[in-house]
Chain A
């Protein structure tokens, strides 16, 4: 089953004759439970695409449908709630709250929604990601790899329809990078999460079930 679909997605900046086509007609389907890597050089439009998929930016044309809901008709507040409940984000620079402990950072998306985190599920995630003994620490006391693991836990806790990872290993050395993507893949499979990861690194991308190559705002190649 497809959890995410885009139809003829376009994003243009500026006007003719200086029109920049960041995305030029992207149509793709992401299957539930799969791990997809979107690869491309910088400036190929892969980050723009991820922003559109996550409702962080509005497209010029075309549509994005996540879990049966189309993103175009949503108001700002609806989109905010939608992102909070249906999408997990993992960023290059971790984006953890520096004044909160790791525990508070992980449960933040659930508490923002006025709910309580499922204790059993929380324990499962934290154990798999090896964060049990780091929960009361502040992010700046942890290594980059540990911070990104906390960010993965934060993305998993809401059981989102899809997890979007934007260059999750961009700030990590190559050894830690390979550990973090390996862990991302393993947790994705364990908790049946759909993951879309953006990377410019082919070596990192091999861990994915499917690779989509973006060039000049278009899909150049898609292979399983």
Chain B
């Protein structure tokens, strides 16, 4: 807008100057030339006036911007003159809006790092809670073992319990290391266009033995040429965790179906079981760290598997959705982007 004003001013000036020179040569008498000079002078004054007017407007505009930038930085947005600039077609209003958005982004970053700290605090207290139970069990049974009254049979039983608790601790620590590596971006995902069938092979291998023991029938439907942009090892880990859950909560002689299909942007890996299912209100809860449904507390587990699975998939730009009819089975749909 302003550039347009200046160019019109300059080109107007040049044009009229050319006109004046032309007239000067055409008018022979002095009187006529005098009149021309006066007109020229008036024109000059007009131009100066024009210039001063726009200069003043520009100065005012900069002052407004600076003043409002100060308001935004000092978080005094409620100040009345500031609010007057909102939602207008003026340049000031547009610049202020952009400044506000920038301030929003900066504030977001700050609050994000604060949230990170809170998350870390929560993680530490949750881990402490999880480690405490097996530790206090171990210490209790150790004391009982040391007691001279303990019979041989009892001692054997206590040793077994201590062994179990140690195994639980080991598993917990392993899982925690995995999840903390995922969260702190310590692992480097090796993203490539990978064959999904190959990923499924690795994932299924890990649970085949458990499924066999429960006589669960496993069927896979996956075209050999379906690919997705993912890290083979970690994706197999995520799928493996979901499959592990499916095996755990499906009764003997049940079924697990794996079905892979390609959509517009994502490759979907659908894992359906004929297990106990999940109540619709808990779809999001099951992905939370250390979440265990009350009715399944008898089953072994820490509530880390699905949490890790979701982290892996989210890190790769995908997501997981759940659908279930309680009592008739659950269906996990893992979506992985096809390309980047």
Interface residues of A (CB under 8 A from B): 1, 32-33, 68-69, 74, 77-79, 81-82, 85, 113-115, 127, 130, 143, 145-146, 159, 161, 175-176, 178-179, 182-183, 185-186, 192, 202-203, 206-207, 223
Task: Assess A202 versus B280: contact at CB under 8 Å? Given A33-B108, A159-B101, A186-B317.
Answer: yes
From the candidates B87, B94, B322, name the one contacting A74 in the complex (CB within 8 A): B87
- B57-98 contacts to A, CB under 8 A, are 77-78, 83, 86-89, 93-94, 97
Task: Assess A81 versus B89: contact at CB under 8 Å? Given A175-B263, A185-B319, A186-B319.
Answer: yes
B309 to chain A, nearest CB (A): 15
B266 to chain A, nearest CB (A): 5
Q: Are A81 and B264 in contact (CB under 8 A)?
A: no
A182 to chain B, nearest CB (A): 5
A128 to chain B, nearest CB (A): 9
Q: Which chain A residues border B97 with CB–CB below 8 Å? A: 85
Task: Determine chain B's interface SS by DSSP, over half rule.
Answer: mixed
A216 to chain B, nearest CB (A): 20
The CA of A130 and the CA of B87, in the complex, are separated in Å by 33
The contact sample of 20 A-B pairs, CB cut-off 8 A, is A1-B107, A32-B108, A69-B83, A69-B86, A69-B87, A79-B87, A81-B88, A114-B89, A115-B94, A130-B265, A146-B264, A176-B263, A179-B263, A182-B266, A182-B321, A183-B265, A185-B319, A206-B284, A206-B321, A207-B321
B45: CB under 8 A from chain A? no
From the candidates A85, A161, A185, A203, name the one contacting B87 in the complex (CB within 8 A): A85
From the candidates B83, B261, B319, name the one contacting A207 in the complex (CB within 8 A): B319
The CA of A136 and the CA of B296, in the complex, are separated in Å by 54
A124 to chain B, nearest CB (A): 12
A198 to chain B, nearest CB (A): 18
Q: Are A179 and B323 in contact (CB under 8 A)?
A: no
The CA of A85 and the CA of B95, in the complex, are separated in Å by 12
